[in-house]
Amino acid sequence: MPIIFKENITFLENIVGIEEAEELLKWLETHKEGAVDLSNCSHLHTAIVQILMVARNPVIQLPTNAQLALWLRTAFQDYLKENKGEL
Amino acid sequence: MSTLLNQFVLESREILQNLSEKILLLEKNPHDKNLIHELFRGIHTLKGNSGLFNFELMNQVLHKTEDLMVAIRDNRIPYSKEIADLLLNVLDFISIQLDEIEQTGNIKEESLRNMAIELSQSVQTYIPNHQAGNSRKGKKQQESKKSDTSILLQENLKRFLIKIPEDIRMATFEKAFSKQPLQFVLYQPEEECFFKGEDPFFLARNVPGFIWGQIQPRKKLPPLSEFDCYRCFLDFLVLSEAKAEELLEHFKFILEQIQIFEVSPYCLIIPVGKPNGGPVYGDFVYEGLLLLERGEKEKLLSAIQTLSNLSSPELWISSALRWLRILLEQKEPPIEHQVIRRLLQSIETLEIPDFSDLVASSSTNSDHLETPSELRSKELVPTQDPVSSEILDILKTQHEILSFPDNDRWFLGRLKACYQTLKGCNAFLQEPEPTLESAFKKSLDTHSPAPLREWIEEILNTQKKHQESSAETSIDTQREIRPASPQERSAEYAQRNVSDIRFGRRAEDQPGSRILKVDQTKIDRLMNLVGELVVAKNSIPYLANKVEKSYGLPDLSRELKALYANMNRISDELQDIVMKVRMVPFSMIFQRFPRLVRDVSQKLGKEVNLIMEGENIEADKNMLDALTEPLIHLLRNSLDHGIELPEEREKIGKSKTGTILLRAMQDSDRVFVEVEDDGKGIDPVLLKQKAYEKGMIDENQLETLSEKDALNLIFLTGFSTKENATDLSGRGVGMDVVKNTLEKLGGTIEIQSVLGKGTLFRLSIPLSMAVTNVMIVETNEQSFGIPMSCISETVRIPEQEIHKVKDKKTTVVRNRILPLFSLNDFLGLPSKQKTNSEGEFSVLVLQINEEPLGLIVDDFKEVIDVILKPLEGSLAKLACYAGTALLGDGSVLMVLNIKELLKCL
């Protein structure tokens, strides 16, 4: 599964396709403060990016993939809360 | 030729036939919207199909034709006879290709390339080019719209560029200034794009020459609760150093959703940081301007150095100074003073300098300062605007003519003709070249076309550069030089096409196809009827026996038996044919595997070579359909757990690339499919340990279980799931499901594995599942059916040869110990098994899970073909019955499911 939901944090990993969109949306709706960790993500489908932009949940880790991070840093800049280890 | 390709050819023929009918109908009712829609859909399907096989030319022509159909559908151009001719030509072109594919399995692209180009061009002439705006009306709208959008875009662009980190901007600037102009792409995907399987972000991320990208919502995004996650509301902005053509190629299927603009590298000069102006800076600016005027760059540079040493690097001024240094240090070609001046002045005003009216290009003269109007004309404009493409075409043709081998008699005339043509063209060029005259003279003097040819080359080169940074001003001239309206030109083309691209044949002229497509349900019905016929036929021997025994008419009985033999032959043949109709080759399911293996192995970072054998072996379509899922699962397993990573493989002396062998074989009425990999194999000890930990086997079994039995543990429900929870496995099909699926089909699966060498799965399924071969046995005066697939032989064993070991009956058959069970015991019947008159028991030797087992029955009867009907309703829960069958005398035969029955042991 490219998405792992934990109690108050969700990990998006590898390639996250549009199939995961609805589930992610549901989770974000019920976890308004739920954090998003993208560190192991290599690609997000447009729909997923869009959901994250609409939900504005805190993004605590950008992908290690530099080019993807470059895109997402500006897209998520208002709610980007890159943590340094805790949580 | 592969089956898929065959299918493609067949289908395409059908579509072509259909389309040409529609085109002809449309000629009679040119306003029939439905027909136009159908035409469009047909072309669209053809295009999609051809895209599957990478038939580039076909796809290209169809793509253009599709555009044309869209234009017609949207009422942008009227449907006309000329268009009909053109469409028919396209169909002919496709038909020729199909012929070639059918004969050779491929297309020799070269032979058809010219046709394809010609066709594409003639189609193109009809399409109102919404980007270049072919029609006058369209152009005017375009122009007014453009001025709006260009302001909007500049705003967008500024906001976009400022977010790029300074160091990246600087590096890009240096590169862009001397080499490659930059392109800014605004990609606005349509809202429904997800439904077309598009992922705009993926496309944007993979833009060639990518430098920087940004995602921005097209409008204010709705709150989460009202948000429709299947619509796209995002725009993508990309800065790229690729050529415009490359970008157009990248976005070729969604050209209408993108805008590409050439960006002057000057636009990257955006000082950023904390504003902190003061009188010192004012002085510096004044001095700097003075130094610049005098051309004392070195002094200016050292002044910059001094000031930046004094300023904190986060300040706006430091950023501006850094830029100044870069501009001043730029040697080849040097930066215009105007740019430096503006940047210097900005230090005083603390406003981002506006360079949007400047164009930096390595081709422009370094110190040439352009007039404002000239400058404005080179604003950010779409690179799409063709600069007098007709003129360029003419020039190219003339170049070609001048390249013909010389012939004294014609040379002079040809040269003069070319000169006249070129003179005409020259007048329409943006900047008429005065050198034409001298080039012509030189050609005359030297008696060689070379000088004129070189002149053309020069023009073509500069035009090409101009085209990339094309200007709005050229539009007016273009409009005048356009030789004829699209309608006039199309008429011209159509006339030419009738003679040129007819290719002497029509799409419908194809040889009559020998293949008939039939709905599968009809075949199924036929199969059922044949099955019933087989059963009905089986009643004749009963009747013959009855006639002989009850009525004492042996002659009639003999005749009936002869009749039966005859009917038997016919029904056998009939059954055979129907079975064959339902047979499809394994390639039908094998075809999808190379792609699967490729994708999965790439995902896992493994190198795998898939070898497929026996693709021509045929089996019942239902069987194959049911086999697909298990095979996919086995392949995934092999890829995921079997094949090692390339480094690991190298370490243990295997070749870097793993091999998976997929092989189909036929043996009488069964088909075997093997999936074999040369991976790490399965460790039986580890399996036993795992099973023990999960409580599936006890301590005793842990010790005694043979390797083979241990391997079979993977088929236990719930065994594999936990361990394999990667994103590849764990799709809800475990090995237990694979096994169950196969057993439902009447098949088996076995596994062989050598640790470190690899694993082999062998699947065996019956060729067809429509008719089952069963043996009728008798026990307790009842008849039961037992599928022949599990019976290996029948033997009669005298009572004295049956031994009892710990209350279990056994005997020895062919030097092997055979455990014996009584069918009556299984079925809970109280009576003892009967012997025949010689005191022998009738024993069926069954092969269950490779183990021989003797089943004692009262008597064997005949073997018959039956159609097995599964039990329905609450009876369906009785797993020990495989189903029921109707016998010839009208009685119902219960067919046992031996495997289930043995579970009652």
Residue of A nearest to B162 (CA): A74
Question: How much of chain B, in percent, has pLDDT values that exceed 90?
Answer: 6
pLDDT for position B388: 61
Task: Give the Cα separation of B897 and B790 in Å (integer).
Answer: 10
How far off is chain B from A22, nearest CA to CA, in Å?
7
pLDDT over 80 at B176, yes or no? no
pLDDT over 90 at B777, yes or no? yes
Nearest to A67 among B205, B225, B227 (CB): B205
Which of A31, A70, A77 should one mutate to test binding to chain B, selecting the residue with the greatest count of B CBs within 10 A?
A: A70
Going by C-alpha positions, the residue among B323, B291, B318, B292 that lies closest to residue B307 is B318
Confidence at B760, pLDDT banded by 50, 70, 90: very high
Residue of A nearest to B203 (CA): A46
What sign for the dihedral angle of Cα B284, B289, B290, B295? positive
User: Which residue did the predictor score with more confidence, B102 or A1?
Assistant: B102
Residues in a beta bridge with B896: B881
Confidence at B149, pLDDT banded by 50, 70, 90: low
CA B386 to chain centre: 33
Residue B798 contacts residue B873 (beta carbons within 8 Å)? no
Is B194's CB within 8 Å of A51's CB?
no
Question: How much of chain B, in percent, has pLDDT values that exceed 70?
Answer: 80
Kindly report the average pLDDT of chain B as a whole number: 77
Residue A25 contacts residue B227 (beta carbons within 8 Å)? yes
pLDDT over 70 at B660, yes or no? yes
Angle at B411 between CA B407 and CA B413, to 5 degrees: 140
Helix (H) or strand (E) holding A48: helix A46-55
Q: What is the DSSP string of B397-449?
A: HHHHHHTSPP-HHHHHHHHHHHHHHHHHHHHHSSS--THHHHHHHHHHHHT-S
Residue of B nearest to A28 (CA): B224
Nearest to A53 among B214, B221, B223 (CB): B221
B212: chain A residues, CB-CB within 8 Å: 70
Confidence at B712, pLDDT banded by 50, 70, 90: confident
pLDDT over 70 at B506, yes or no? no
Summarised one tens digit per residue, pLDDT across range A2-59 is 888 888 888 888 888 888 888 888 888 888 888 888 888 888 888 888 888 888 888 8
pLDDT for position B843: 93
Residue of A nearest to B220 (CA): A54
Residue of A nearest to B210 (CA): A67
Nearest to B214 among A14, A18, A74 (CB): A74
Task: Give the Cα separation of B789 and B792 in Å (integer).
Answer: 8
pLDDT over 60 at B639, yes or no? yes
Is B200's CB within 8 Å of A54's CB?
no
pLDDT for position B312: 76
Residues in a beta bridge with B664: B673
pLDDT for position B370: 35
User: Which residue did the predictor score with more confidence, B345 or B753?
Assistant: B753
pLDDT over 70 at B602, yes or no? yes
B216: chain A residues, CB-CB within 8 Å: 75
Confidence at B469, pLDDT banded by 50, 70, 90: low
A28: chain B residues, CB-CB within 8 Å: 224
B190: chain A residues, CB-CB within 8 Å: none
Domain boundaries, chain A: 9-79
Summarised one tens digit per residue, pLDDT across range A52-78 is 888 888 888 888 888 888 888 888 887
pLDDT for position B195: 81
Residue of A nearest to B218 (CA): A50
Confidence at B240, pLDDT banded by 50, 70, 90: confident
Q: Is A49 on the interface with B (CB under 8 A)?
A: yes
Q: What is the DSSP string of B595-618?
A: HHHHHHHHHHT--EEEEEE-TT-E
pLDDT over 90 at B698, yes or no? no
Summarised one tens digit per residue, pLDDT across range B112-142 is 777 777 777 777 777 765 444 344 444 444 4
Span B302-326, mean pLDDT?
79
Task: Give the Cα separation of B208 and B249 in Å (integer).
Answer: 10
pLDDT over 80 at B790, yes or no? yes
Q: List the single range of B175-184, B507-516, B733-742 with lowest mean pLDDT.
A: B507-516
pLDDT for position B674: 92
Q: Is A55 on the interface with B (CB under 8 A)?
A: yes
Span B446-455, mean pLDDT?
80
Span B441-467, mean pLDDT?
77
pLDDT over 90 at B785, yes or no? yes
pLDDT for position B368: 35
pLDDT for position B474: 43
Span B235-239, mean pLDDT?
87
Nearest to A71 among B199, B215, B223 (CB): B215
How far off is chain B from A67, nearest CA to CA, in Å?
8
Q: Which amino acid is at B882?
A: A
Nearest to A47 among B163, B230, B727 (CB): B230
Q: Is A73 on the interface with B (CB under 8 A)?
A: no
Q: What is the DSSP string of B478-496?
A: HHHH--S-HHHHHHHHHHH
Residue B116 tokens read as 């394809």
Nearest to A45 among B199, B221, B222 (CB): B199
Is B229's CB within 8 Å of A46's CB?
no
Going by C-alpha positions, the residue among B875, B894, B897, B902 that lies closest to residue B779 is B894
Confidence at B786, pLDDT banded by 50, 70, 90: very high
Span B46-54, mean pLDDT?
78
Going by C-alpha positions, the residue among B378, B483, B479 that lies closest to residue B142 is B479
